[in-house]
Homo-oligomer: A and B are copies of this chain.
Amino acid sequence: MPTLKLSQIGELTLLEQIRKKFEKYPPDILVGIGDDAALIKHTNENLLVTTDMMVEGVHFNMDFMTPFQLGFKLVSVNVSDIYAMGGKPKFLLLNIAMRRNMDKKTIDSFFDGVQEAMKLYSLFLIGGDLSASHKDMILSATLIGYAKKYLRRSGAKVGDRIYVTGNLGDSACGLELLKKIKSPVLLDRTKRRAKSKELRAESKDTLLYALRSKLPAKGLKWNDIEPLLRRHIMPEARDPGRFISSATSMIDISDGLLIDLFRLCDESKVGARIYVENIPLSSQFKKVASGLGIFPVKLALSGGEDYEMLFTAPSSKRLNAIYIGDITESERVIVYPSGRKRAFSAEGYQHFSIHR
């Protein structure tokens, strides 16, 4: 059977299919997909809104990701922003521009990935827009959520401790692996779902074959590289729920620890001291980074796309999160185990910088 192209389906038919797939709404959605705007019933909670755009070849590369993974990641990235304000995400709107000869199968897989993430975070798709692009795929998501207590970037106080919710650098290391593998890698769709052995076996074989011929390192195992690839390809946003009542400020790490900490410091008008030996690195990351000839701390400090939460809380609180530094009056430094200090600036991923 020949592959069905988008140009043969038409925008209206595709919209109708998407509508059927996602049109199961809670009572507070008075109007969902299919009208000029979506209508949300008023509540007594404050409303959070975030929006984000991803351009093919700039923010993602279809040579490295399946459409399913892309759909999943687009949602996760926006959920992470709502979580970073202390909120609960709920309603999603998607704008998608695609080339006319896009496969129907690719589109369906993309929306399957969106749906998988929507289930994980209990979201509802309530609107958006489909259109044509010349060549690159362009995605834009808007996510609406609710907040009781909310956390700004601007609340950090001198003397507060700085925490993160998980390991840093895994995602950036996953990207380095993908650059060597140069093809999408199939992962189990969710870790929670019953393992599909066939899928796992297939991706594992393909992958290790590719790696054997490309990596200088020996002895890398699927169990070492899978979590790193997953953190980059299908990141799950961290719900900081249990820390919200104690935290004084919060931001999610999307552009890299240092640049996002710098932003938090700017907004809070404070400094920060980060202890390099406290930066949490996974054993897999350390092992694979060594195989790739990468210095792990550098990647963990500025790699980006960690989607862990970075937050501050008074030092009097005892929190079950990873303590990586302290808020200072103005000095912004990284402290090495030797005691050597290095000032940091807004390093990390700046889209318009001429230096990368």
Q: Which residues of A contact B (CB under 8 A)?
A: 6-12, 14, 30-31, 34-53, 55, 57-59, 80-82, 84-85, 87, 91, 93, 95-97, 100, 126-134, 136, 138, 140, 142-145, 147, 150, 152-154, 250-252, 267, 346, 350-354
For the complex formed, measure the closest distance between the CB of A306 and the CB atoms of chain B, giving whole angstroms: 14
Known contacts A44-B42, A57-B134: A352-B37 contact under CB 8 Å? no
User: Which residues does chain B contribute within 8 Å of A80, judged by CB atoms?
Assistant: 36
The listed residue (B6, B39, B40, B46) touching A352 by CB distance below 8 A is B6
Known contacts A52-B95, A55-B131, A153-B35: A30-B11 contact under CB 8 Å? no
User: Which residues does chain B contribute within 8 Å of A350, judged by CB atoms?
Assistant: 10-12
User: Which residues does chain B contribute within 8 Å of A154, judged by CB atoms?
Assistant: 35
Q: Are A47 and B39 in contact (CB under 8 A)?
A: yes
Q: Are B49 and A132 in contact (CB under 8 A)?
A: no
Known contacts A31-B152, A140-B140: A37-B132 contact under CB 8 Å? no
Q: Are B252 and A49 in contact (CB under 8 A)?
A: no
User: Which residues does chain B contribute within 8 Å of A352, judged by CB atoms?
Assistant: 6-7, 9-11, 14, 100, 130, 132
User: Which residues does chain B contribute within 8 Å of A144, judged by CB atoms?
Assistant: 49
**Nearest CB to that of A100 among chain B residues?**
B352
The listed residue (B34, B96, B138) touching A267 by CB distance below 8 A is B34
Q: Are A40 and B50 in contact (CB under 8 A)?
A: no
Kindly name the residue among A36, A128, A130 whose own CB sees the greatest number of chain B CB atoms within 10 A.
Answer: A36
Q: Are A142 and B142 in contact (CB under 8 A)?
A: yes
The listed residue (B35, B47, B53, B132) touching A85 by CB distance below 8 A is B35
User: Which residues does chain B contribute within 8 Å of A82, judged by CB atoms?
Assistant: 36-37
For the complex formed, measure the closest distance between the CB of A164 and the CB atoms of chain B, giving whole angstroms: 15
User: Which residues does chain B contribute within 8 Å of A143, judged by CB atoms?
Assistant: 37
Distance A145 CA – B37 CA, assembled complex (angstroms): 10
**Nearest CB to that of A14 among chain B residues?**
B352
User: Which residues does chain B contribute within 8 Å of A31, judged by CB atoms?
Assistant: 85, 150, 152
A11-B351, A35-B153, A42-B44 given. 7 additional CB < 8 A pairs? A11-B353, A14-B352, A37-B48, A37-B87, A38-B50, A40-B46, A51-B142
User: Which residues does chain B contribute within 8 Å of A52, judged by CB atoms?
Assistant: 95, 129
User: Which residues does chain B contribute within 8 Å of A47, judged by CB atoms?
Assistant: 39-42, 47
The listed residue (B30, B131, B152, B346) touching A12 by CB distance below 8 A is B346
For the complex formed, measure the closest distance between the CB of A15 and the CB atoms of chain B, giving whole angstroms: 10
